[in-house]
Amino acid sequence: MASYVCMIFLKLFLESFRFAFSALRENKTRTFLSLLGVTIGIMTIIGIFSAVNTLRANLESSVEKLGSRSIYVQKWPWGGGGDYPWWKYVNRPEPTIRDFELLQQRTTLADGIALDVGVSDKTLKYLNNNVENVYISAVSKDFYKIRNLEFQSGRYFTDGESERGTPVAIIGSTIAKGLFPHTDPIGKTIQALGRRLKVIGVFKEEGEGMLIDVSLDNIAVVPLNFARNVINVRSFGPSIVVNAIDGVSLDEVESELRGLIRSIHRLSPTQEDDFALNQTTIITAQLDTMFKMVNTAGFCIGILSVLVGGFGIANIMFVSVKERTHIIGIQKSLGAKNFFILSQFLIEAVALCLIGGLMGLFVVYGLAFILKIAAGIGVVVHLDEVVLAIFISTTIGLISGIIPAVIASRLDPVEAIRSK
């Protein structure tokens, strides 16, 4: 019995699809314009969701580069906006080498601690080749524990090079291409910060981030103890970066750091912190708020477009009922139940909406493929969003087709046959 019912339903379903495609063939322009609203709506919803997912994936990748288990001890807290109280922070002291050394001695929850000093807009030279706007990062030896460093060639600093401040450098792939277009950089001597440095490593090419440019491609890394003899470290906004040990929450590490730094700075219990403890989660939390707003706006715009398309589908269904009134009369005179007629038109409306929804998905995937080929951008389309598109299309089809289907199912067979 169950198999018989399934066969009847399948036959009804296929017949309704046949009527839907028949409507497409016979009234191509009218049907296409009616489906366009559903197509644009689904394309808008899935397109915006996919764009946000792509940005989010890139952001997470950038956060991983910054160190997802890292806390940055700095003068300025991360943030911004119209209410940012900059006047509270402008007179704070910059983190010092003394702070860094004392934290190294006292912390118990850190896997690695590094002092990072960034000097921007510098020029590197090798013979007649120059590379401008280079970011030089002077770091202590534990920097490799904070950043996941991948090398195209060469190596990282040895403990001895870091302690002695040996004039050596690791350069990014962009710098290597600019200074050494036809030769191996390893072992060559370049000029930077008014000194001669030996290149001991080249970072693997990473590519630029879409939201946060933390790529090592245009960065030169030198030992901190070398840089402190060349520049005034405190003038360049140094950061102390603490990497948490596995199995310990960042909140625990932050609590320990706050107590240690307050002790090092000799702050009384009533005094406010004169430092900031920044985590990468601050960035993701701020952007999550923005992403939610964009998702909501895109969903609302898409739904309005889909609803407009739904009115077009409803118009097609009313016309379809009128054109097939005679056939409905014959079906009912042969014993077709009201439910059969109702289901036939509802499935036809859903089929038309699904066609529009699938057209929208096809456009999104087509644009994603073009972006991948032309710009190398991998667009992220989640399966749950595809399911959402199918669900919305089905729902709009049911809403658009319910009234015409009810009208068709209640037609008097005698009057329907006479209508021709």
In this predicted structure, what is the pLDDT of residue 396?
82
The secondary structure of 177-208 as a DSSP string is HHH-TTS--TT-EEEETTEEEEEEEEEPP---
Burial 180-208 (b: 16+ CB within 10 A, else e): beeeebbebebebbeeebebbbbbeebee
Would you put residue 116 in left (φ > 0), alpha (ψ -120 to 50) or beta? beta
Digits of tens for pLDDT over the chain (420 positions)? Answer: 667 667 777 776 676 667 666 656 666 776 777 777 778 777 777 777 777 777 777 776 666 666 667 888 888 887 665 566 777 788 888 888 899 889 888 888 888 888 998 888 888 998 888 888 889 999 998 888 888 788 999 999 998 999 998 999 999 998 999 999 888 999 999 998 888 999 999 998 877 655 445 678 888 999 999 988 888 877 888 888 888 888 888 888 889 989 999 999 998 888 888 888 888 776 666 667 777 787 777 777 777 777 777 777 787 778 777 877 777 777 777 776 777 777 777 777 887 788 888 888 888 888 777 877 776 666 767 777 778 888 888 888 888 888 888 887 777 777 767 666
Q: What CA–CA distances, in Å, run from 21 to 10, 16, 353?
A: 16, 9, 12
Place of tokens 């495609």: 21
In this predicted structure, what is the pLDDT of residue 170?
93
Rg (CA), the chain: 33
3-state secondary structure of 220: strand
What is this structure's pTM?
Answer: 0.64
> 197 φ, ψ to 5°?
-125, 145
Angle between helices 338-375 and 383-409 (to 10 degrees): 150
In this predicted structure, what is the pLDDT of residue 199?
93
Q: Are 59 and 212 in contact (CB under 8 A)?
A: yes
DSSP state of 155: -
In this predicted structure, what is the pLDDT of residue 419?
65
In this predicted structure, what is the pLDDT of residue 89?
82
Q: What CA–CA distances, in Å, run from 14 to 19, 23, 224, 269, 347?
A: 9, 14, 73, 77, 9
Structure tokens at 312: 């077009």
The domains of the chain are located at 11-62+286-418, 93-274
Q: How far apart are the first and last CA of the chain?
A: 37
In this predicted structure, what is the pLDDT of residue 93?
87
